[in-house]
Amino acid sequence: MRAQPFHDGHLRLIETMKNNCDDCIVIIGSIQESNTSRNPLDFETRKLLINNIIPDQKVVGLKDLGNPPKWADYVLDFLKPLSPDVYFAGSQQDADWFKNKVENVVSINRDDTKHCTVSASELRDMLKNKNPEWKNFVHHKNHKIIEEKLYGKSLESPNPRA
């Protein structure tokens, strides 16, 4: 996951992992990217957003290869010492990269409208336009962190999830 930004769909994916596995590692991709419209937050901020909600979660980062078909081999090479037996993906496309490479691949649609009614792209648009509706899709503990990172200060607006 890129977690740009970390939203309720990502949280659901991690909670599913933790409910099914003894040892879970979250890998954040594209760590070399920040301060762009597609990747506004740096790696340390994205890691903070996850650990702010799930303090004991191990989070590591990987640079993007710019070559999606090779992503699975790159990730698995990184994880080789751990010999993962299951990979949780936040989209079917992501899951497809790991088919036939990991014993079990579980696809959890992080944008499933039953659980999360916004994609990260839509969420970034809301943030860019300072639309306060973004707060409906991000854990309230992370509102101030995101506002300070993106706007330099916390915005004075009602908190829809309080």
Q: What is the pLDDT of residues 57-96, one digit of tens each?
A: 999 999 998 888 788 899 999 988 887 888 988 888 888 9
Domain-located, residue 156:
no
Is 22 inside any structural domain?
yes
> Is 159 a domain residue?
no
What's the pTM? Answer: 0.86
More confident residue, 157 or 3: 3
Cα separation, 12 vs 93, whole angstroms: 18
Q: Give how far Cα 94 sits from Cα of 19, 134, 136, Å.
A: 21, 25, 26
How many domains does the structure of the chain reveal?
1
Task: List all residues 6 or more positions away from 161 whose beta carbon is below 8 Å from its beta carbon.
Answer: 135, 136, 139, 140
pLDDT computed for residue 133 by the predictor:
95
Specify the CATH number for the domain of residue 120.
Answer: 3.40.50.620
Give domain status of residue 157, yes or no. Answer: no
The answer to whether position 160 is within a domain reads: no
Whether residue 52 is contained in a domain is answered as yes
On whether residue 90 sits in a domain, the answer given is yes
DSSP state, residue 21: -
Q: Which structural domain range is residue 31 located in?
A: 8-151
Nearest to 124 by CA among 4, 26, 32: 4
Across 98-136, b (16+ Cβ under 10 Å) vs e yields: beeebeebbbbbbbeeeebebebebbbebbeeeeeebbe
Q: Is residue 161 part of a domain?
A: no
